[in-house]
Structure 1
Amino acid sequence: MSFYDPETYTPERSIGYLIKTCNQTMTALLDRMLADEELNSSQWSAMMTIHHGEAPTCAALARGMAHDKGAMTRLIDTLEEKGLVERTRSADDRRVVHLSLTPAGRAVTSRCRDMVVEHWNRCFTGWADAEVETLISLMQKLRCTLEDIATCP
Structure 2
Amino acid sequence: MSHRTQNDFERIQSLGVTLGRARNLVAAEVDAALKDVGINSQQLSILLALSRNAAGSAIGLSRMLAVDPALMTRALDKLEARGLVRRTRSETDRRRVDITVTQEGHDAIARCERAAPTEPNVRLARFTNPEIETLGRLLGKLVDG
Q: For residue 61 of structure 2, what is the aligned residue in structure 1?
A: 61
Query: What is the identity, as a one-letter code, of the residue corresponding to 1:107?
Result: D
Distance in 1 (alpha carbons) for counterparts of 2:10 and 2:93: 51
Greater displacement, 88-97 / 63-72: 63-72
Give the aligned residue type for 1:35.
K
CA shift, 1:139, in A, is: 1.2
Unaligned runs of 5+ in 2: none
**Residue in structure 2 matched with residue 18 of structure 1 by the alignment:** 18
TM-score, scaled relative to structure 1:
0.80
Alpha-carbon deviation of 1:22?
Answer: 0.5
CA distance in 2, matches of 1:67, 1:80: 18
Higher relative contact order (CA 8 A, sep 6+): 2
Between the aligned residues of both structures, percent identity stands at 31
- Residues in 2 aligned to 1:54 and 1:113: alpha-carbon distance in whole angstroms: 19
Separation of aligned partners in 2, 1:63 and 1:124: 26
TM-score (norm 2): 0.84
Q: In 1, distance between residues paired with 2:142 and 2:67?
A: 20
| Letter of the 1:102 counterpart | T
Map 1:63-102 → 2, pairs under 5 A: 63-102=63-102
Q: Give the CA deviation at 1:88.
A: 1.6
Where does residue 52 of structure 1 map in the other structure? 52
Partner of 2:123: 123
Counterparts in 2 of 1:36 and 1:60: CA distance versus 1, 3 Å: same
Equivalent residue for 2:33? 33
Aligned length: 143
How far, CA to CA, are the matches of 1:5 and 1:29 in structure 2? 36
Amino acid at match of 2:109: T
RMSD: 2.5
What amino acid maps onto 1:14 in structure 2? S
1:125 Cα deviation from its structure 2 partner: 2.1
